[in-house]
Amino acid sequence: MKSYDTLITMFFAAAVLPVTTHGIDMTPTWHPPELVSSIHADAASQHRGQRILAFDHYGNPGIVATDSDTLYYAERVPGLGWTMRVTVSGATLSYPSLAFDYHERPFLVVHDQFIGIGTLRPANGDFYYEVVDDGLLPSITFDAYESPIVAFVTTDMANLRIDTDKDGDWFEERIIQDSIVTSGPSNYVSSVAVDSLNRVYMSFGTGNGISYGLYTDAGGFHTTTLAATATPGGIPSLALRDDSPIIAFNDGADLKLATWDMSTLSWSINTLFTSVSGTIGAPSLAVDPSDGMPAIAFRDAGAGELNLGWYDGDTWQFTPVTNEFGSTIDGFSPSLAFNDYGSGFAALTYFDDAGNLYFIEDPPSIPEPAALILMCMTIPWLRRRQ
């Protein structure tokens, strides 16, 4: 056992280590892909909700997915690996979305001409499921008051709506805010997020472009068109960086990023990546909570590769995702997430061409400097309490 003086020395040594200014500072070395399930899902129907992968606040991953008529929830159990449970069965369940509340309970939403929401019962661990509204293509998150917020499209594909639970009675009291958007078969919500001021942000695609919406209790719902896309049906993915929205979206052969500029109060749009011989699949955007740097997972159809891109503080870096043998992975409909401890590397889910669901991650082999400082501060404190 190390002495108290040694631990103090470790703390000061960690304190002078150079702290990284960005989460992913080298090419990831991925752990072997983990087979989550062979449910043979339609990969295209998994992504248009916000995300199917999420971490709770202890860094434990959860995954939600559907096949043609069943909604599944997967969790990784120490010593057992991934376990799948059926949460609800119905007709043509698709476009699931997952978020954890502040009590570490997974909340799932899915559509079947209606919006359904489910969560775990604390008493027995079973899932409780309820239909809450008519609609399609839902995404779920939680606001600053720990209330779930579900964004979705009306069944006529003409309006966006927000349902929220203010009193814990499963949407018996709800706020519904309509926003007129271009009608057509390509309207859908892709992402929803809430900032520290409890403002609700959404990104969504229309038949001819990418749009953005902001909802506040005082000002209602406001939308703006960010970009006309050369290829109708581009799918956006939204995240917040220091309470400012950033939106990744695919436009034919291009992966693009829209960034809100606080100095000019305007949007800037840049092309980050171009496929040499094909199209870019639906992206998944996430921000590392340890440093606020964004990362994007997407499929390059021309190369047949699943890619990860990350911002290193100066430029965007891109690399194919590889398996344990160094071979590139051709993954469909990726969902990207970081855990709340900020490991500095992303984790993601993807489907292969047979519909099998995989999870892959690249946790660091040693703690980041900031984490090491906290560890060295905590160990002597715990020892003194004993």
pLDDT single digits (tens) 45-56: 665 555 899 998
pLDDT single digits (tens) 68-109: 788 889 999 888 899 988 887 766 778 888 999 888 888 888
Residue 171 clears pLDDT 80, i.e. is over it: no
Domains of the chain as residue ranges with CATH: 1-19+368-386 (no CATH), 20-367 (2.130.10.10)
Of the two residues 302 and 376, the one the predictor is more confident about is: 302
Instruction: Judge contact between 332 and 299, C-beta under 8 A.
Output: yes
Measured distance CA(113)–CA(69) in Å, rounded: 13
pLDDT single digits (tens) 124-140: 667 777 777 777 788 88
Measured distance CA(267)–CA(293) in Å, rounded: 18
pLDDT band at 371 (very low <50, low <70, confident <90, very high): very low
Nearest to 282 by CA among 245, 248, 257, 330: 248
Of 162-171, 213-222, 306-315, the range with the highest mean pLDDT is 306-315
Nearest to 182 by CA among 162, 203, 159, 166: 159
Q: Give me the pLDDT at residue 58, please.
A: 85
What count of other Cβ atoms lies within 10 Å of the Cβ of residue 313?
A: 12
Q: Give me the pLDDT at residue 82, please.
A: 95
Measured distance CA(201)–CA(180) in Å, rounded: 16
What count of other Cβ atoms lies within 10 Å of the Cβ of residue 258?
A: 20
Q: What is the pTM of this model?
A: 0.83
Residue 359 clears pLDDT 90, i.e. is over it: yes
* Average pLDDT score over residue span 138-159: 81
If you ran DSSP here, which 8-state letter would residue 231 be given? S
Nearest to 245 by CA among 210, 220, 214: 214
Measured distance CA(24)–CA(38) in Å, rounded: 31
Q: Could you give the percent of the chain with pLDDT greater than 90?
A: 26
Tell me the HSE value of 296 on the side-chain side, using a 13 A CA sphere: 28
Instruction: Kindly state the tokens that stand for 228.
Output: 């006309």
Measured distance CA(337)–CA(291) in Å, rounded: 14
